Structure 1
Amino acid sequence: MFQVAVCDDDAANHNLIKQLLLILTKCTHFSFDTYFFSSGEELLEYYRTHESNPFHILFLDIEMNGINGINTAKHIRSLPDRDVQIIFLTSYPEYMMDSFDVQTFHYLVKPISNELFISKVTQLCNYILASVNRYLTIKTNGEYLVLKNSAVIAITKVKNTIAKKRLEVITTGQRYACVGTLESYSNSLEYPFLLVHRSVLINMEHVLKFTVSSVVMSNKEEFPIGRSKAQTIKDSYARYMLALIKQRG
């Protein structure tokens, strides 16, 4: 499931995009959890009061009362949210050049063509799913969810359960139960993910601190560190922090 935001001061466009996404859900395996905003200010307030990068796709009208779509996108990119894919909506093609400054996926001119919309959103969803280093797809409760790697705190084996291969994916906003093996996730998820115990895979982006035998994550949850590889794990984290410092410098 993709998290989608529609920001447009025309309610008719909200309804149109809602219907087009429903059509897309029926003719593909994609599904969408859609949020609607009537101004750039309202969307930015949502960003301020929720997890920092809540959406996969943003449909953003350029001509709105108050802050316009281009400036709204600039605020979002400066948060920074580099992962959200932006599709601009406008009645005026001359704004196209300005939209390139905020890493736009596409630009749709109103009135929106149903065929073009479905084609471009299908293309975008496939692009997101193919970005294996930035997104994680899990199956939970019979549906597929697309999670940003940066939002994943840890993946752990579920103990004391009859079903085998049960995992819990812990994110900044929620916890998800899914089926799989920790080994397969450890092999597919690259740096900065690190297997710290036979039952725990962490994202080093969310490490708060290390103790002698455990690691404390950004949600204050504490996980054990395998004794045989404690030093290797701490060395890996030290290299990660050094690379991060150099990147920011």
Structure 2
Amino acid sequence: MLNVIVVDDEPLARKGMLVRLAAFPELKVVAECANGPDAITAIMELTPDLVFLDVEMPGMDGFAVLKQLQQQINKLPYIVFVTAYDQYAFNAYEVNAVDYVLKPVESERLKAAVDKVLTYHAASDNQKHKDQLAEAVARLTGDQADIILERLDKAEPVVSSRFPEAISIKDSGEITRVPVAEIDWVDAAGDYMCIHTRDGQTHILRRTMKELEAELDPRLFVRVHRSAIVNVHTIAKLQMLSNGEHQLVLTNGQSVKVSRSYKDRVKQVFSH
């Protein structure tokens, strides 16, 4: 709902405008003013979203009101000028008014002006939400906010995946790309790791477990031991042994020990 102020030096004109505006559930009139100085005071205090501003007022006309407001506040409300003379239309657009309506105000013409304001406001509000989202995502991911806004405009995923689809493994002068989705589980062996894949192969990777874990999507891989990571889609069973310890049984029959410090993390996999 937009807060509205009606400004007109003629009491009957104000009353007529209030009656017509009551037909719009999106609008709430919060004040009515009979002259320019009162309008400036009310706008400064109430910060309305929309002002219907009479152009022809004694002492300070509508253009003078707008000029003074521009000097005193940073964000102007939407302005719709109300005038008895069509020649003011050019000036109304020149000072960035959203629209103007002629007296006597016709309901259909007023509706067109209100619809234009609502369209402007929806676009502005949507942009504000986009900006806020971009800033939040930028803080979370480290991506630049303008890049995130560009993705929003193109209806692309806001957060680009930071997890690689494959891992490159160097061995004997060759580089093998192992698809992450094909990894069943990983175990550490000294200063290197053994990556066990779905086709039964084992690849040797000279990286630390911590480094590899940072590259694997935590929604797909779970750390089950200081020296083991498992693909959640390969987990068949969680077993409790007679000595109180736990182990996983994978779909390929492989057993992987679960350490106490990672037990709760593993149990979360079975809660989904």
Q: Which has the larger radius of gyration?
A: 2
**TM-score, normalised on structure 1?**
0.49
- Higher RCO structure (Cα 8 Å, ≥6 apart): 1
